[in-house]
Structure 1
């Protein structure tokens, strides 16, 4: 009975369990930026219980429920900077009961600004509202083009709000996508 070559359990089910390895489950990734200080995708999806406390407590009203069709992503909090800016007040983190938003383990910056082709400068019209709005000097104008330094951009959304052509939008950084 102590023969090492003897099967631990001779039944067929045990044999198939040893032969067939389960496929790893691929977690969906939201196309929207998460709230500030959100943890990585796997941890966030495991911890967030969709309680909406981060949404309800946000004084700027820039966190909303996701409308994505995937059942895992539907209703999760996402950052929406279309009509407001994030001040990084951290009230959303303070209200999160599960730790899905966490100052120590999460990322503060969840969005970066991008410029589209219909910027006034590219149409030879004078404009520097976005540059004036950026508190971190992440925006500069070179050769009649807006240049955004993603390493300096906090993703607050102020530049997007000040762009009257809506040429600046905020997106989830490519580095955060899996």
Structure 2
């Protein structure tokens, strides 16, 4: 038997082996997602909305819950201490990482330390800030001083995403398709406006 035939045989063997293991891993992840995303009544959580602000790069909620091992690595590396562990008993998401913008927003670090620290696939790489979808800001006009008698543009001035919030007739307006849900506007609003007028929802 020639060396060429032997080499071809080896290449075929390794190709088939890696393909088999790759498919096996994909199937395991798929099964894990399906198993974890069933609640006690057997109904899928797929249609339910995300209830918490997740770190940048978070996959869909049902996949996030299944893949996140609650290792806390993203929490440890966040330079602004924006990420915390959810502490909510009897919640399937208990122990997973969340962001509470009113207290400490996500400052959209250029290096995305949290994403790089995640080895479980719960946080995936983003190419540009516009791809981040943590949530969307919503303005309660009844609470916003700019919609009353006092001028305020703190949310507009502090927003890190160009044109995500802009002024229209001296009143802030959220451009939903550009908002990434970092929560900086909510955080700064909390320092100048009471009750708070901006809320970021998942």
Partner SS for 2:91: coil
Partner of 2:98: 78
Partner of 1:167: 197
Q: Report the TM-score, using the length of structure 1 for normalisation.
A: 0.73
How many residues in Structure 1 have an aligned counterpart in Structure 2? 148
Deviation per CA, 1:114-135: give whole Å up to 9, x if none.
1122111122111111111123
1:24 is displaced (CA, Å) by 5.3
**Bigger shift: residues 158-167 or 37-46:** 158-167
1:155 is displaced (CA, Å) by 1.9
Partner of 2:133: 109
Q: Report the TM-score, using the length of structure 2 for normalisation.
A: 0.65
The unaligned stretches of length 5 or more in structure 1 are: 1-22, 173-178
Give the conservation status (yes or no) of the 8 Å contact 1:54–1:96: yes
Partner of 2:35: none
- Indicate the structure whose relative CO is greater, using CA pairs within 8 Å and at least 6 residues apart: 1
Match of residue 98, structure 1, among 110, 120, 124: 120
More helix by share: 2
User: RMSD over aligned Cα, in angstroms?
Assistant: 2.2
